[in-house]
Amino acid sequence: MSLNVGHRGYKQQRWMAHSGLRSQNKDTPFYTVVTYLPHYEDNSAVANGFRVFFYMTWLYMMLPMMSADCMPIVHLITMTYKFVTLCQYYDRIKEDFDRDVRTLRKHEAVAKLKAGCLEGIKMHQKLMFLAEEIHRVFGIIMSLQVCESSAVAVLLLLRLALTPHMNITNALMTYTFVGSLFYLLALNLWNAGEITYKASLLSNAIFYCGWHLCELEKEPHKDIRRLVLIGCTQAQKPLVLKAFGIQDLSYNTFVSVARMTYSVFAVFYQRRG
C-alpha cells in the first residue's frame, strides 16, 4: 500500500514538473510554461532538450520586461550624479581661482576662471539635452509605471478587502506583490525627483564660483559677470520630468499615489464591514 502511494506521489510530481499544467490543489497554485509537446511521460533527450528550450524562451521573453523597469532607473541615477559632478566642478574651479589669485597674475587667474565657467555652461547644456532625450525615450515607461502600479495595487487591495476568508499564503503573496509594486514605483519617482533637486543646486554652485573677486571689464561681452548670469539663468530653469506631460514625477507624486491607493482600500474595507 505504501509503495503504491509512493509511486503515485512520484508520478504526480513528474506531472507537475513536466506537463506544464496547473496543480489540482486550489490552495497552492502551480504555474509553469504550458506546452503541448513533449508529453510528461517522455523523458528522452530530445524531450528534455525541448523543455530546456521552452524555459529559456520564456526567460528571454521576461528579460525585456525586467530591463524596461531597470533601464529608466539606471539612467536617472546616472543623470543625477552627472549634475552632482557638475556642481563639484564649479567648486573645484573656485578653489583653483582662490589659489591662482595668490600665485599668478590677476588677469591670468581671471582668464582661467572664465574658461572654466564657459566649459561648465557647455557641460550644463549637454546635460539638459541628455535629460530631454532620457525623458523622450523613457518618459512613457515611467508614466505607465505610475498608472500600472496604482491600478494593480488598488485591485489587489480590493481583493483583500472583499474576500471574506483568505489563507495566510495568498494574503502574504498579495501583500508582497503590492509592496514590490510600490517599491519599484518609489525607485522611479525618487530618482526622478532627485534629478530635479540636484539640478536646482547648480545655480548656487555657479554663483559662488568666485566671480565677485574679478574686476569689472570695460567691454561688457568680455566680463565674467555675463557668463555667470547666463549660467545661473539656465540653471534656475527647473528640470522636472512629467508623466504624459501632465503629472510631475517627483516625491509628491509617490505620496499622492500611495494615499490614493490606501483611500480606495479604506473605503471598500469599511463598506464591507
- How do residues 188-206 score in pLDDT, each as one tens digit? 888 888 999 999 999 999 9
- The backbone region for 232, taken as left when phi is positive above 0, alpha when psi lies in -120 to 50, beta otherwise, is alpha
- Band (pLDDT 50/70/90 cuts) for residue 271 is low
Tens of pLDDT, residues 50-77: 878 877 877 766 666 666 777 888 888 9
Which residue would you say has higher pLDDT here, 219 or 103?
A: 103
Query: Which pLDDT does position 60 carry in this prediction?
Result: 67
Whether omega for the bond prior to residue 238 falls within 30 degrees of 0, making it cis, is no
Res. 175: pLDDT tops 90: no
Give the CA-trace dihedral at 166, 167, 168, 170, to 10 degrees.
-70
Res. 12: pLDDT tops 70: no
Q: Tell me the three state secondary structure of residue 24.
A: coil
For 65-272, CATH number out of 3.10.20, 3.40.50, 1.20.1050, 1.10.357 equals 1.20.1050
Q: What are phi and psi of 21, to 5 degrees?
A: -105, 165
Q: Could you state, in order of their start, the residue ranges of all structural domains in the chain? A: 65-272
How far apart CA 202 and CA 182 sit, in angstroms, is 30
Res. 123: pLDDT tops 90: yes
* Separation in Å, CA 172 to CA 37, 157, 169, 192, 265: 34, 12, 5, 30, 17
Tens of pLDDT, residues 157-168: 777 766 667 777
Strand partners for 247: 243
Supply 92's cell numbers.
Answer: 573645484
Give the pLDDT mean for 258-267. 76
pTM: 0.69
Tens of pLDDT, residues 203-218: 999 998 888 877 777 7
Res. 153: pLDDT tops 60: yes
Res. 136: pLDDT tops 50: yes
Query: Which pLDDT does position 124 carry in this prediction?
Result: 92
Supply 157's cell numbers.
Answer: 487591495
Q: What are phi and psi of 41, to 5 degrees?
A: -85, -5
CA dihedral over 40, 44, 47, 53, signed as positive or negative: positive
